[in-house]
Amino acid sequence: MELNSPAFSAQGEIPRRHTCEGEDSAPPLRWSGVPPEAKSLALIVDDPDAPDPAAPVRTWVHWVIVDLAPTTTGLPAGGRPLPPGARSGLNDWQRTGYGGPCPPVGRHRYFFKLYALDTWLPALQRPTKAAVEQAMKGHVLAQAELVGTYRKLHP
């Protein structure tokens, strides 16, 4: 599978409008190559560099989506509306939906990870990243990753 964004290139700078210093709206995403036997897709966006890339302590979760139809080929800018059947999980701000990059110090990496699964995840109502990863075990047919970076203009 391949995952990309018209808003930024792989390893490139995530535009300010998709961060806490801008509109804090999700960048548009596009994907292809979903295996024909896939039943659903899941998306996790996280930052392993929190709070400081020089001394990371934890991975901060920015976005979780489950039960995207395998025929879906992307998400619009802003991430809304979600395609029918797809559900947002909880990010580390304890809310559903996208929370953009807002690093307290340094340039952070943001991993957009798309998983093709051989099942749906209906039991997960407002799933966390940990719950999705646990439920996906043994069900991942393929995955794709896109990494973007961001450093606050006004720390």
Q: What is the pLDDT of residue 122?
A: 83
CA-based nearest residue to 37, from 1, 3, 89, 2: 1
Say how far apart CA 46 and CA 59 lie, in whole Å.
6
Q: What is the pLDDT of residue 153?
A: 82
Q: What is the pLDDT of residue 155?
A: 62
Low-confidence ranges of the chain (pLDDT < 70): 155
Structure tokens at 55: 């001394």
| Domain 1-41+50-108 sits in CATH 3.90.280.10 | yes
The side-by-side arrangement of strands in the sheet containing 74-75 is 2-4, 29-32, 74-75
The gap from C-alpha 91 to its chain's centroid, in whole angstroms, comes to 10
Q: What is the pLDDT of residue 112?
A: 98
* Amino acid identity at 19: T
Q: What is the pLDDT of residue 126?
A: 84
* CA distances (Å), origin 62, targets 41, 43, 46, 59, 132: 17, 11, 5, 10, 14
Alpha-helical runs (H) found in 3-154: 129-136
Say how far apart CA 26 and CA 75 lie, in whole Å.
9
pTM: 0.96
Going by the DSSP 8-state scheme, the letter that residue 97 receives in this structure is S
User: DSSP 3-state assignment of 81?
Assistant: coil
